[in-house]
Structure 1
């Protein structure tokens, strides 16, 4: 559609959109009237049980006698506490994300030989089809890297000699290739975007087979391919903590939902990417970074508790930043007292802040982490505790690493493809049915009216 034609029909579309919006509106009170769990969650934020998984577990409560009370959050991968997984990574040049991928896919921690063989397999798969970068990534680059990533995934379908076969062996092969290539698809997509839209130099490094996923991201992204051991270690920990988060998070549930129809791997993963792209899911840390940027402009003394507290109050009142009335990075759909990912990640972020000279910024983050729950509790009725989530720290970590904002959500996808793949394997390997949840219809029945007898009504009369 040409730009001229688009401008001519805009008033028509605007009018039709108002009609569609009015016809599509559901009164929120009806959810209570009919006891429908809006968003598949109860009033305490607990998800409605829709399936069974063996892959991961998210805990935020514990039973004491007959009562269920909030507790420090816990996250388990295949029965292993993720904090133990990170804590037990050796201090040498060992990187744990590949180990977590193996654990999620195969249910066990690998032996040394299994781990060596698996890393070699991923390295062998870490190459795009001939001319794919030129013919796909470099043609009509998108300004959004998640769209670039999704388009690349869907296009890889055409390069697969057996794309629609959904046997476990074929799906596993497809998943491993996608896991291996997500860093290349993401970073190359950004480099091309930077070249065409920001007039930057176009530098595309080939992946180094001797490097881990985290190291290869930094190697391919930076012009000089250099990075410190702490930078790579922090990014590796970030990938571990984002690799999986239960079957009910929006993008993973999307993977189950779409996979249950029997569709191909590329379509299922592209659908998950579309879900993760949303600012309520994978894009949340960008809002945190933007909020802190505004805060640092408006708060003169970052150490003044009163001044910081006033800014947080103004956030809730919708007076500052995006005027949405939200403090970003605080609270979670499941966790209340603490997010174990945030607790684990915080120590690595503190170390990097010292290496990079961001101590004042880190102190501000810590001050907000302490004051924000108090401000929220004083101002609003909440059904469970509020604490910093992993997005509160991840954007700050990426900022210190010098990563472009355009790659924040794709890095989330580079990690979460491990969990999506495990859940897709679980869906096709189990005796599952196509998912078809029920919706209650509240539209009353009407008698059909012949066209010559219909009267046009305004939006006010509808």
Structure 2
């Protein structure tokens, strides 16, 4: 047994997976062998969920049945919605509210809080996972509307997963460009190897805990500033640039001279531009042309070109998915502090897939830590300390 310390488990292989693969050297992401660009442009988020959960892309008949089953689970119990409203009134953070509501959903699951149904643990996990995935958008939209003093909008089973969320958020059916863009964003965030939140969900799953526990844990891990939230930081920078009335390149030059890091650049895995950033940059262009407002597109493009000319790409520091996703969400009218919850809404499908996959050949995940405390200590009675 090796005693080599690998902080953060960096470079340590802990599992095998057929779900997704990230090649950071060339900027490639695949789900079950399919290139992310092909999936984002040619498949819906529902198709991607089916692929992750069942191992292959669905036929038309399979997709229709799967999407209908998913849509049928969108309604959330009134008790959960009351809790969501209470959390909004208490000014709770969106990720914390989502974590609480997701855990609460298990109390209303027809399968109950069980590890295994009559047809086995895998099918029980998939059913529960389908309900979680279907209900999270309803919870998030209801939370945001409650913060605005508005009643929740009931889900529409005739709309797509992406279209229904935007409808529940705004009360208006989205146009085709907005729906397609948001669907793509969900696909791009659905899975990404053993990142911190996925590994958290998988560790929880390895104990044979239920899917609700794993997804709740994944949300908790994603809420940390070192994992989710970088797209919020990007938008805050863009607003700061806009408020300063400087051109973006001058602002970035001054920021770097002051020692500030520009968010949305650099990635733990990618050494070149994140392939998801390319797709979202393209969709931001579509949204900008559709609305006639190109401000965020102009800013982000100028910043990327400047930092590229400065040689950051040569150092392996390139735009990641967060550099463009924030601008896309802003163009869709989504509040900044809802960006990470939307990330969780998409990534829940990946967490569930990893839990199901790992439990099929389960081994409890139990690493070691090197003890660095005292070798011996004498216990002194409490009255003599």
Normalised to the residue count of structure 2, the TM-score between the two structures is 0.92
- 1:231 alignment partner in structure 2: 178
Instruction: Please state how far the C-alpha of 1:376 moved relative to its aligned partner.
Output: 7.2
Q: Which residue does 1:416 correspond to in 2?
A: 347
Q: Give the Cα separation in 2 of the matches to 1:36 and 1:57.
A: 25
Q: Which moved more, 1:446-455 or 1:346-355?
A: 446-455
Aligned residues: 376
Number of the residue aligned with 2:165: 217
Q: Which residue of 1 aligns with 2:47?
A: 99
Is this contact kept in 2: 1:312–1:372, CA < 8 A?
no
Query: Who is 2:191 aligned against?
Result: 244
Is 2:142–2:152's contact at 8 Å kept on the other side of the alignment?
yes
The equivalent of 2:279 in structure 1 is 344
Separation (CA, whole Å) in 2 of partners of 1:342 and 1:116:
30
Ranges of 4+ aligned residues in structure 1 off by more than 6 Å:
452-455
In 1, the alpha carbon distance for the partners of 2:384 and 2:312 equals 53
> What is the correspondence of 1:80-91 to structure 2 with a 5 Å cutoff?
80-89=34-43
In structure 2, runs of 5+ residues without a counterpart are: none
> What is the CA-CA distance between 1:262 and the residue it aligns to?
1.5
Aligned 1:64-75 pairs, distance under 5 A: 71=26, 73-75=27-29
Q: Please, which of 439, 447, 457 is the counterpart of residue 369 of structure 2?
A: 439
Provide the rounded CA distance (Å) in 1 between the counterparts of 2:219 and 2:284.
27
Alpha-carbon separation, structure 1, partners of 2:188 and 2:87: 33
Partner secondary structure for residue 126 of structure 2: helix
Distance across 2 between alignment mates of 1:407 and 1:76: 26
Deviation at 1:345, TM superposition (A): 1.6
Of the three residues 85, 92, 117, the one matched with 1:143 is 92
On the 8 A contact 2:238/2:296 being kept in 1, the answer is no
Structure 2 counterpart SS, 1:76? strand
Structure 2 residue matching 1:58: 3-state secondary structure: strand
Q: For residue 148 of structure 1, report the CA deviation from its aligned partner.
A: 1.3
Measure the CA separation in 1 of the matches of 2:214 and 2:252: 44
Take 2:16 and 2:323, find their aligned partners in 1: how far apart are those partners?
30
Aligned partner of 1:165 among 112, 115, 118? 115
Distance 2:169 2:41 in 1: 28
Residues 14-40 of structure 1: CA deviation (Å, up to 9, x unaligned): xxxxxxxxxxxxxxxxxxxx8522222
TM-score for the superposition, normalised by structure 1? 0.77
1:175 to 129, 135, 140: 129
Structure 1 unaligned runs (5+)?
1-33, 42-46, 62-70, 90-95, 196-201, 319-324, 456-462
Contact 1:101 1:418 in 2 (8 A): yes
Q: Which structure has the bigger radius of gyration?
A: 1
- Whether 2:51 is the aligned partner of 1:108: answer no
2:24 corresponds in structure 1 to 60
Aligned to 2:102: 153
User: What residue number does 1:321 align with?
Assistant: none
Residue 77 in structure 1 maps to residue 7 in structure 2: no
Find the counterpart in structure 2 of residue 16 from structure 1.
none
Distance 2:54 2:81 in 1: 35
Indicate if the aligned counterparts of 2:80 and 2:104 stay in contact, CA closer than 8 A: no
What secondary structure does 1:296 align onto? helix
User: Per the alignment, in what secondary structure is the counterpart of residue 221 of structure 1?
Assistant: helix
Instruction: Please report how far the alpha carbon of residue 454 of structure 1 lies from its aligned counterpart in structure 2 after TM superposition.
Output: 7.2
User: What is the CA deviation profile of residues 205-259 of structure 1, one whole-angstrom value per residue up to 9, with x for unaligned ones?
Assistant: 1111110011111111113x1322101111010001001111x101100011111
Per the alignment, in what secondary structure is the counterpart of residue 300 of structure 1? coil
Give the drift of 1:150: 1.2
Q: Distance in 2 between matches of 1:297 and 1:136?
A: 37
Output the aligned Cα RMSD: 2.1
Paired with 2:144 and 2:373, the residues of 1 have a C-alpha distance of 46
Whether contact under 8 Å (1:104, 1:422) holds in the other structure is yes
The equivalent residue for 2:326 is: 395
**Contact 2:280–2:328 at 8 Å: present in 1 too?**
no
Q: What displacement does 1:295 show?
A: 2.2
Is the 8 Å Cα contact of residues 312 and 318 (structure 2) preserved in structure 1?
Answer: no
Distance 1:194 1:389 in 2: 32
